[in-house]
Amino acid sequence: MKVHVDHERCQGHTLCAMTAPQAFELSDIDGHASPVTEQVPVEQEADVREAVQSCPERAISLVEE
């Protein structure tokens, strides 16, 4: 599973990083989220799926493999 954050949509709500802190990091500059790694480790998949649902801007997308 791969994860992507659309920086055009991201408004820095931070819910993704609170839901899956191992999987997302927030920029000190603009507060936008980025995946720590595009390829999601299997043990983080459940948290990342929850983070997708948590984002009010629907900025996070998954590619299932």
Site residues (vs ligand F3S, CB under 6 A): 5, 10-16, 33, 54-55, 57, 59-60
Distance between CA atoms of residues 32 and 27, nearest Å: 5
Residue 40 to residue 36: CA distance in whole angstroms: 9
Shortest Å, Cβ 44 to ligand F3S: 15
| C-beta closer to ligand F3S: residue 31 or 41 | 31
Q: Which is nearer to ligand F3S, 40 or 60 (CB)?
A: 60
Q: Distance (Å, rounded) from C-alpha 9 to C-alpha 64? A: 21
**Least distance to ligand F3S, CB of residue 43, Å:** 20
